[in-house]
Amino acid sequence: MTVFENFPLSDIIYYGIGGKARFVLRVQNKKDLLEALEFIRTKKIKKVLTVGFGSNLLVSDSFFNGAVLWFCRAEFPQIKFLENGLVKVFAGENLDDVIQFSFQHNLIGLEWAGGLPGTIGGGIRGNVGAFGGEIKNSIEKVEVFDIITNEIKVLDNKDLKFSYRNSYVKENKNLIVVNAFFKLSKANEKELAQAKKIYFSHIDYRKKNHPLDYPSCGSVFKNITDKENVERILNVWPDIKEQTEDKWHGKVAMGYVINRLGFSGKTYGGAQVAEKHANYILNKNNATFNDVETLIQEIKDKFNKTFGFYPEVEVEIIS
């Protein structure tokens, strides 16, 4: 484990936003994690934040008077093919490295995640997903550390209670993902080639359709999936009924809504609602936490005024 003191979180959070933290503890394997937890106990640190790639986090510019457990990939990736056919991965590994590993071993199942930034720990917590795929479909079990009981536990797929961008780990803040065990499918040459094609097509799609030139946190808001809320939107905008059913498979896409509410290109300080995809707020020019939060709040208020309820934020805000 490596200890950094007074370390700027903007250096490790994907958004490039965040104040200094009293301690950042870099964790690259299970041994590091146990050492870091011992450090936290010894120093009697009360505030602890777990961070992976930081690609789903908006962190305050104020001083974080606590310890950040920074899960990182090691120099030699902690991804192992086990005899029982499962792939064991340390939580700090990048999702994309697991995809590369799986392709090298003729395994498929994660190709939907082409171009998606993040670690395995962050991905499991938020049941990361894209293009109809979700990480929950490839997880056999997960090893977690419970910071209340100081125990390592193993949770199987059912225990993890995955749902849309949610999981048991997210609902229980005392749990830290340590290792994940992936169940992937063996592929023949043709199936492998097809999976690689899908993987690269998703990377291309993101390059074409997502604003990747500036730092962001991906989608700021969750799409509207709840039937009752979908109906409330359709009552106000009946003209999108067809595309809700056909194009968005019963959901309402927040990028579309934010654009139609007039926010595309709107700037506050250094932050801007992306023109290419309005559910992204970009760190265009040294944006502060407040710049991004102000835009989020304005969108929420106008949305509520229009439809009578607030949209759910997907990015995690640490204020």
Ligand X SMILES: Cc1cc2nc3c(=O)[nH]c(=O)nc-3n(C[C@H](O)[C@H](O)[C@H](O)COP(=O)(O)OP(=O)(O)OC[C@H]3O[C@@H](n4cnc5c(N)ncnc54)[C@H](O)[C@@H]3O)c2cc1C
Q: Which C-beta is closer to ligand X: that of 133 or that of 192?
A: 133
Count of positions on this chain that bind ligand X (CB under 6 A): 30
CB 112 within 8 A of CB 124: no
Q: Which C-beta is closer to ligand X: that of 55 or that of 229?
A: 55
231: Cβ contacts below 8 Å, ≥ 6 apart? none
Smallest distance, ligand X to C-beta of residue 135, A: 8
Residue 45 burial (C-beta neighbours within 10 Å; 0-12, 13-18, 19+): middle
Contacting residue, 7, 64, 71, 112, with ligand X by CB under 6 A: 71
Q: Could you say which residues in the range 287-316 bind ligand X, by CB under 6 A?
A: 316
Q: Could you say which residues in the range 174-233 bind ligand X, by CB under 6 A?
A: 176-177, 216-218
Please give the Cα distance from 315 to 25 (Å, whole number). 23
37: Cβ contacts below 8 Å, ≥ 6 apart? 145, 147, 150
Contacting residue, 17, 36, 51, 220, with ligand X by CB under 6 A: 51
What is the contact mask toward ligand X in residues 72 to 111, using x (rule: CB under 6 A)?
-------------------x--------------------
Q: At what angle do helices 289-307 and 227-236 cross, to 10 degrees?
A: 70
Contacting residue, 121, 133, 255, 311, with ligand X by CB under 6 A: 121
Count of all residues that appear for the chain in the document: 319
Please give the Cα distance from 200 to 193 (Å, whole number). 11
Smallest distance, ligand X to C-beta of residue 186, A: 26
Smallest distance, ligand X to C-beta of residue 165, A: 6
Contacting residue, 36, 139, 155, 169, with ligand X by CB under 6 A: 169
Residue 133 touching ligand X (CB under 6 A): no
CB 27 within 8 A of CB 36: yes
Please give the Cα distance from 106 to 98 (Å, whole number). 12
Residue 271 touching ligand X (CB under 6 A): no
Which residues of this protein are in contact with ligand X, per CB under 6 A? 14, 50-57, 71, 91, 116-119, 121-123, 125-126, 128-130, 169, 176-177, 216-218, 316
